[in-house]
Structure 1
Amino acid sequence: LRRLRVREVPLLVVSHFHVDHVGGVAGVFRGRRVGAVVGPSWSEPPYGSAQVREAAQRAGAPLAPVQAGWRWRAGAVDLVAVGPPYPLRGSRSDPNNNSLVLAATVGGVRILLTGDAETEEQRAMLETTPAAAIRADVLKVAHHGSAYQAPEFLAAVRPAVALVCVGVDNDYGHPNAGLLDRLTRGGARVLRTDTDGDVAAVQAGGGLAVVRRGAESGAPR
Structure 2
Amino acid sequence: MFASAAVAMPPDVKAARLHWSGSGQAFVLQSLGETAVIGGSGEQYGLLERLGELLQYRTRTLDLVVVTDDRAANLSGLEGLVRHYRIREVLDVGLQYPSLGYAQWRDSLGRAHIPVYALRTGTSITMGTANLTAIGPDGVCGVPADCAGMMRITVPKKSYLITGDASQKEQREALFRPVKLSADVLLGDGTHDFLADFVRAVHPQLVETYGTRMAGGTRHLPNGLSESL
TM range (shorter): 0.5 to 0.7
Residue in 1 aligned with 2:171? 122
Query: 1:160: how far off?
Result: 2.5
Q: State the superposition RMSD in angstroms.
A: 2.8
Contact 1:45–1:95 under 8 Å retained in 2: no
Query: 1:129: how far off?
Result: 3.8
Counterpart of 1:103 (choices 137, 142, 152) is 152
Instruction: Give the secondary-structure state (helix, strand or coil) at the position aligned to 1:128.
Output: coil
Query: 1:79: how far off?
Result: 1.3
Q: Deviations along 1:38-91, whole A, 9 cap, x unmatched?
A: 1114444523422331231232211121321211112111111111245555xx
Matches within 5 A, 1:27-38: 27-38=80-91
Q: Which residue identity does 1:64 align to in structure 2?
A: Y
Counterpart of 1:156 (choices 183, 195, 201) is 201
Query: 1:159: how far off?
Result: 2.2
Q: Are residue 196 (structure 1) and residue 218 (structure 2) matched?
A: yes
Contact 2:63–2:88 under 8 Å retained in 1: yes
Query: 1:195: how far off?
Result: 4.0
- Alpha-carbon distance change, 194 to 102 in structure 1, aligned in 2, over 3 angstroms: farther
Contact 2:96–2:141 under 8 Å retained in 1: no
- How many Å separate the matches in 2 of 1:79 and 1:42? 22
Query: 1:157: how far off?
Result: 1.6
Contact 1:85–1:124 under 8 Å retained in 2: no
Which is bigger in relative contact order (C-alpha 8 A, separation at least 6)?
A: 2
| Larger relative helix fraction | 1
- How many Å separate the matches in 1 of 2:218 and 2:109? 32
Counterpart of 1:23 (choices 76, 84, 88) is 76
- Alpha-carbon distance change, 37 to 196 in structure 1, aligned in 2, over 3 angstroms: farther
- How many Å separate the matches in 2 of 1:166 and 1:157? 21
Percent of aligned positions with the same letter in both sequences? 26
- How many Å separate the matches in 1 of 2:187 and 2:62? 20
**Structure-2-length-normalised TM-score:** 0.66
- How many Å separate the matches in 1 of 2:101 and 2:216? 24
Contact 1:15–1:116 under 8 Å retained in 2: no
Q: Which residue identity does 2:108 align to in structure 1?
A: A
- How many Å separate the matches in 2 of 1:35 and 1:194? 38
- Alpha-carbon distance change, 46 to 105 in structure 1, aligned in 2, over 3 angstroms: same
- How many Å separate the matches in 2 of 1:129 and 1:103? 13
Instruction: Give the secondary-structure state (helix, strand or coil) at the position aligned to 1:112.
Output: strand
- How many Å separate the matches in 1 of 2:185 and 2:110? 33
- Alpha-carbon distance change, 159 to 51 in structure 1, aligned in 2, over 3 angstroms: farther
Instruction: Give the secondary-structure state (helix, strand or coil) at the position aligned to 1:68.
Output: coil
- How many Å separate the matches in 1 of 2:209 and 2:166? 13
Instruction: Give the secondary-structure state (helix, strand or coil) at the position aligned to 2:80.
Output: helix
Counterpart of 2:112 (choices 45, 59, 79) is 59
- How many Å separate the matches in 2 of 1:96 and 1:162? 20
**Structure-1-length-normalised TM-score:** 0.68
- How many pairs are equivalent? 176
* Structure 2 unmatched ranges of 5 or more: 1-50
- How many Å separate the matches in 2 of 1:102 and 1:60? 25
